[in-house]
Amino acid sequence: MKLLRRVAPIMVLLLAMLFIANSPKKQKEQPIVVMAYYVPEKEYRPDLLPLNQLTHIIFSFTHVIDGEMKFRDTENKKKLHQLVAQRKNHPHLKVMIACGGWGADGFSDMASTSENRKKFVESVVAFNKEFKLDGVDIDWEYPAIPAAGTGARPEDKQNFTLLMQELRAALNTLDRKQILTFASAGWKRYYKNVELESVMKVVDYMNIMTYDQVGPSSPFTGHHTALGHIAEKDIADTPAAEFINAYRKSKQDKDRDYGPRSAEKIVRFCLDQGIKAEQLVIGAAFYGRAWKGVPPNNNGLYEKNSGAHIGWSAYYQIRKEFESDKTYKRHWDSIAKAPYLYNAKDSIFISYDDSVSVRLKTKYTINKKLGGIMFWQLGNDTKDENSLLQSIYNASIKN
């Protein structure tokens, strides 16, 4: 009996140690949301994704089809079920669905009447029930602006508000708590067509697309996904400034904002509009933009070009094909807080996010007490060490 009394505490201690050793590791706390837009790929299955580094993943895209939220490709249903199944291994993860995207039509007509909105909202509720999702992201590009030839009407401004209010009310009826977000532009003109005060009362986050700030058809080069606030004086005496000033004088489009754009600039604008900091999510680009025919002045930055060299290039391609090529020199813009590559031999300029810039964006969101950071899109990241997501995750976790 004496021996048993001596051994028993030791056995209890050993069992406790064994239990702790085999218990799942606690997810490190992230003070901000880290949202990935995810386009399913054959070779990048849900079970291979670094889901432990995310708080939210947004499966992309459904579309407005016959007035309802549906997949164009029914094969995506199987893939979405596979992604949702990963929550058993990552219980912290919120799985959402995105509706829309660049060039996705149907929003303006769908939102134009109460009957049409009701039909759409009911389809969203049914969809989220079927897949047991955690929420929906509305990516209407853009209310009242016929971008990429999409339908638009002035009433979109008010109808967008009604749509989001009705989505919120309907999603609140589901047993599983629902997150409602929407993708917004990184330039001021967009916000003239949205009733921000009303919309922000019913959504959790506004995902600001702080990328494509300079597009492939731009007559001058620039940072397409800058963090730092770039003032007019910072681009003075460059071809970019000359073009912007000439465009303003021509008054071709008085509402268009052709000045230098950045995450800090649009965040400051949104905060001035009264949006709560914790509702703002800024974007990182897991891809780059490239221009050709760029002269060597200022290593190609804010210079003229002869067109797009590549419309876009995934980060894993940039790292493999360009960063490793000695003819491409990496430069850092301390004002924009962004990198760029310039090839003087072939006159090519590339704007992109790298592991340094996404870390700075993440730290910025924490310091400004913003909601978090999102990015387009997960499949564009490198699968090698020091990935963009790894840099975001390392910067986001509480030590």
Rounded Cα–Cα distance for residues 26 and 92 (Å): 10
* Kind of pairing between the strands at 280-285 and 372-376: parallel
- The DSSP code sequence of 294-356 is --SGGGGTT-B-SSEEEEEEEHHHIIIIIIT-TTSEEEEETTTTEEEEEETTTTEEEE---HH
Whether residue 141 lies in the annotated active site: yes
Q: Which of 29, 68, 115, 141 is catalytic?
A: 141
C-beta separation of 271 from 191 below 8 A? no
C-beta separation of 336 from 356 below 8 A? no
C-beta separation of 65 from 46 below 8 A? no
* DSSP-assigned beta bridge partners for residue 374: 35, 283
* 299 token code pair: 């290593």
> What are φ and ψ of residue 18, in 5° steps?
-65, -40
C-beta separation of 182 from 199 below 8 A? yes
Rounded Cα–Cα distance for residues 38 and 51 (Å): 11
Rounded Cα–Cα distance for residues 382 and 366 (Å): 25
Q: How big is the chain by its Cα radius of gyration, in Å? A: 23
* Kind of pairing between the strands at 348-351 and 287-291: antiparallel
* 132 token code pair: 């047991």
* DSSP-assigned beta bridge partners for residue 182: 138, 206
Just list the catalytic residues.
Answer: 141
